Amino acid sequence: MDSVAEAMERLRDLATRPAVAELAQLFASAGHELAIVGGTVRDAFLGRALTGDDVDLDFTTDATPEQTEAVLAPLGKTLWDTGRRFGTIGVRLGGYVCEITTYRSDAYDGTSRKPEVQFGDTLEADLTRRDFTVNAMALRVPELKLVDPTGGFDDLLNRRLRTPGAPEISFGDDPLRMLRGARFRAQLGFDLDPTAADAARRMASTLDIVAPERVQQELAKLLLSPEPSAGIRVLVDTGLADQVLPEVPALRLEIDEHARHKDVYEHSLIALDRAIELERSREHAPDLVLRLAVLLHDIGKPATRAIEPGGGVTFHHHDVLGARLATKRMKALRFDKATTEAVADLIRLHLRFFGYAEGAWTDSAVRRYVRDAGDQLERLHILSRADVTTRNKRKADRLAHAYDDLEARIAALAEEEELGRLRPDLDGEQIMSILGLKPGREVGEAYRFLMEARLDSGPLGAEEAERRLRSWWAARN
């Protein structure tokens, strides 16, 4: 963490940049206050970059939205006011996306999913209504005066997430703040203050009044953080996960001396950590689809657990059930269709590799693995590797070598056969021409026959494909 002097120098550099300085002077000339707030001030103390392409800057002011529009009018810039109801006016200045919000003092009424918007009078009061003290610091501009009414700097030093006032009041004002506590644990590595954690346990059920879309956004930010498993633990330990992602705490299956199996909850978090390591080693950006799939890949186990007569434990078809459960949960959280389907497909396929580890596959089986994975193949590679969390080194090495071999075979076949473009040797037009058909069900059946032949035998060539097609058609009729 940077010293106060270093942080102030970084903030001073930001505040004196032409776009920010011009904005500050416009408000000052109009007789209004303006301050930089939120993560920007916090990040200055954490030594994080404050500039870059399309950087978001949050400001707060005593000006109403109408007054803010009047102040910005001389700039001749296009404004956006989609947040007007909440007091926010936006403008792009010099590469910065600036959102300027009137001082606020609003809160939920305990029943509605939308807060009752009320504007406030002072910067200090606005800051004390924010989620955590580390986010409740501001820099007045153009004066360059740091305002920290709730002890945010001390909490930064102690790496602590504390609410500005009583957590019951803060979380009552906006229950989503409880999820933000878990998200900041994952993003910043800070610990949630014990009083805040206790309040979250008591108030977890109030998340019911928060719109699913807002919950989804927080979960996505958490999962894309550097250490999502730490945030998931906060959600589970406080009971928040029971409200928003109950399939995860349900993974904590009772383990007794007669029917031993590994802790599925711990396994899932370890697998998530491993997937992130593989993501980084393969130089991939944080991938929400992959991380959701790894976290949820075993959620079908609780409902499918069966104890064998000899004491063994099985989870038959937990992959299929898990895909259905993940789809249901993600729809409830309003995830988009493409993300939901991709996660479900990965969960459905996550056991496929273990058949390869038990015995070498034919080329046909490898082709089908690639075909079924489709554009999820690289994610499936990472999920399958991350799923191996056994402490038995010999077993772990055997599975790792098996997957190395599978990836090598996929690469070799891909080079020989264009596996990335798996399709029959004849297209629909050619099939209709050869068999004298019109568009319809029979063309689809012929296409599927040729696709199976392609998967079984590799590229056939047009002549051999036509011979097989005619033979199949004659036998079929």
What confidence category does residue 124 fall into, taking pLDDT thresholds of 50, 70 and 90? very high
pTM: 0.84
Check residue 258 and give its pLDDT.
45
What confidence category does residue 21 fall into, taking pLDDT thresholds of 50, 70 and 90? very high
Q: Are residues 340 and 452 in the same domain?
A: no
Q: Are residues 13 and 46 in the same domain?
A: yes
**Are the C-beta atoms of residues 286 and 224 closer than 8 Å to each other?**
yes
Distances (CA, A) of 169 to 37, 51, 55, 175: 21, 34, 32, 10
What is the average pLDDT across 394-413? 89
- What is the rounded (10 degree) CA torsion for 193, 199, 202, 204? -80
| Residue/partner pairs of 150-154 with CB below 8 Å, 24 or more apart | 152/42, 153/4, 153/45
Q: Per-residue pLDDT for 23 more than 50?
A: yes
pLDDT per position as a tens digit, 253-286: 755 544 455 689 999 999 999 999 999 999 999 9
Q: Are residues 468 and 334 in the same domain?
A: no
Integer Cα distance of 107 and 171 in angstroms:
10
CB atoms within 10 A of CB 275: 24
State percent of the chain over pLDDT 90.
60
Q: Are residues 152 and 163 in the same domain?
A: no
| Least trusted range by pLDDT, from 22-36, 79-93, 280-294, 349-363 | 349-363
Out of 244, 266, 291, a domain closes at: 244
What is the average pLDDT across 325-343? 98
Residue-number span of the structural domain to which 53 is assigned: 1-158
Q: Are residues 144 and 163 in the same domain?
A: no
CATH number for 25: 3.30.460.10
Check residue 118 and give its pLDDT.
77
Q: Are residues 417 and 447 in the same domain?
A: no
Q: Are residues 412 and 373 in the same domain?
A: yes
Q: Are residues 240 and 283 in the same domain?
A: no
Q: Per-residue pLDDT for 83 more than 90?
A: no
Mean pLDDT of the chain: 90
CB atoms within 10 A of CB 440: 9
Check residue 108 and give its pLDDT.
56
What is the average pLDDT across 88-106? 88
Q: Are residues 197 and 342 in the same domain?
A: no
Number of domains in the chain: 4
CATH number for 216: 1.10.110.30
Out of 118, 139, 158, a domain closes at: 158
What is the average pLDDT across 135-147? 95
Q: Per-residue pLDDT for 379 more than 90?
A: yes
What is the average pLDDT across 132-140? 96
What confidence category does residue 314 fall into, taking pLDDT thresholds of 50, 70 and 90? confident
What is the average pLDDT across 401-425? 81
| Least trusted range by pLDDT, from 129-133, 157-161, 337-341, 453-457 | 453-457
Q: Are residues 355 and 407 in the same domain?
A: yes
Check residue 455 and give its pLDDT.
82
What is the average pLDDT across 412-435? 81
Out of 158, 177, 203, a domain closes at: 158
Q: Are residues 359 and 256 in the same domain?
A: yes
Q: Per-residue pLDDT for 105 more than 80?
A: no
For 386-407, b/e burial (b = at least 16 CB within 10 A) is bbbeeeeeeeeeebeebbeebe
Check residue 1 and give its pLDDT.
59
**Are the C-beta atoms of residues 147 and 35 closer than 8 Å to each other?**
yes
CATH number for 318: 1.10.3210
Q: Are residues 135 and 218 in the same domain?
A: no
Q: What is the DSSP-derived secondary structure letter of residue 285?
A: P
Q: Which one is predicted more confidently, 256 or 51?
A: 51
Q: Per-residue pLDDT for 242 more than 60?
A: yes
pLDDT per position as a tens digit, 175-225: 999 999 999 999 999 999 999 999 999 999 999 999 999 999 999 999 999
Q: Per-residue pLDDT for 110 more than 90?
A: no
Check residue 52 and give its pLDDT.
53
What confidence category does residue 456 fall into, taking pLDDT thresholds of 50, 70 and 90? confident
